[in-house]
């Protein structure tokens, strides 16, 4: 149950533009508060939206199908875990940049040491200034890389070339996208028409 509640849900603004993701638990809370509606992702009524009452009814109607594994049971009702929600009031897009944080650097570098090319758990990683701070290096996307503790200790406050080390990739600011930091396998097929719409199927009014 807990893993299902933490499954990612794509969040659209009221113009149906993807803005970020949230957990199923958060999506259901927004649905119950009336701040969002669920987007139906299968069946003949695909893309129909549901408020909490109609989502309860739809969940009940599909409870005996192969979709039943997505059901979240409470004392009184069983609800399908949503895959996409659309917000009722929010019509802005988030800032098109990724906030510079320790975790986001690790996500950009895929938890891979940029010197030895090995993948490590977050607890065994550090942030390294390519150009050391005492040589004028700044704490920015283009000067910070993920480093394992042994490589970080070996490099110390020197340039990579001074200790015979080379960067795996040149550091740069990651491109913003709603799925930043989300594993590819966690992405739902139903999201793709919003994340990467087929332009041939998109009609533009005159």
Domains observed in the chain: 2-94 (no CATH), 102-163 (1.10.30.50)
**111-136 pLDDT per residue, tens:** 999 999 999 999 999 999 999 999 99
Is the pLDDT at 43 greater than 90? The verdict is no
Encode the chain in three state secondary structure: CHHHHCCEEEEECCCCCEEEEEEHHHHHHHHHHCCEEEECCCCCCCCCEECHHHHHHHHHHCCCCHHHHHEEECCCCEEECCCEEEECCCCCCCCCCCCCCHHHHHHHCCCECCCCCCECCHHHEEEEECCCHHHCCCCCCCCEEEEEHHHHHHHCCCCHHHHCCCCCCCCCCCCCCCCCCCCHHHCCHHHHHHHCCCHHHCCCCC
Q: Which of 8-17, 88-97, 115-124, 178-187 is the most confident on average?
A: 115-124
**What pLDDT band is residue 48 in, cutting at 50, 70 and 90?**
very high
How many whole angstroms separate alpha carbon 108 and alpha carbon 136?
24
| Interval 143-172: pLDDT, tens | 999 999 999 999 999 999 999 999 999 999
* Confidence at residue 142, expressed as pLDDT on a 0 to 100 scale: 96
- pLDDT for position 186: 47
Separation CA 12–CA 90 (nearest Å): 9
């Amino acid at each position: 149950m807990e893993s299902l509640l933490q499954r990612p849900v794509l969040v659209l603004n009221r113009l149906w533009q993807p803005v970020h993701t949230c957990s199923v638990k958060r999506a259901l809370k927004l649905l119950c508060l009336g701040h969002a509606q669920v987007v139906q992702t299968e069946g003949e009524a695909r893309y129909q939206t549901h408020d909490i009452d109609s989502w309860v009814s739809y969940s009940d109607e599909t409870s005996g199908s192969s979709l039943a594994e997505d059901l979240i049971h409470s004392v009184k009702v069983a609800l399908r875990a949503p895959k996409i929600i659309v917000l009722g009031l929010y019509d802005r897009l988030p800032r098109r940049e990724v906030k510079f944080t320790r975790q986001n650097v690790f996500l950009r570098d895929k938890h891979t040491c940029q010197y030895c090319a090995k993948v490590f758990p977050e607890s065994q990683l550090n942030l390294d200034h390519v150009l050391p701070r005492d040589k004028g290096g700044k704490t920015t996307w283009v000067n910070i890389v993920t480093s394992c503790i042994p490589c970080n200790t070996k490099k110390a406050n020197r340039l990579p070339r001074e200790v015979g080390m080379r960067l795996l990739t040149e550091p740069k600011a990651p491109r913003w996208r709603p799925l930043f930091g989300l594993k590819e396998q966690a992405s739902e097929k139903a999201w793709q028409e919003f994340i990467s719409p087929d332009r041939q199927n998109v009609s533009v009014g005159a």
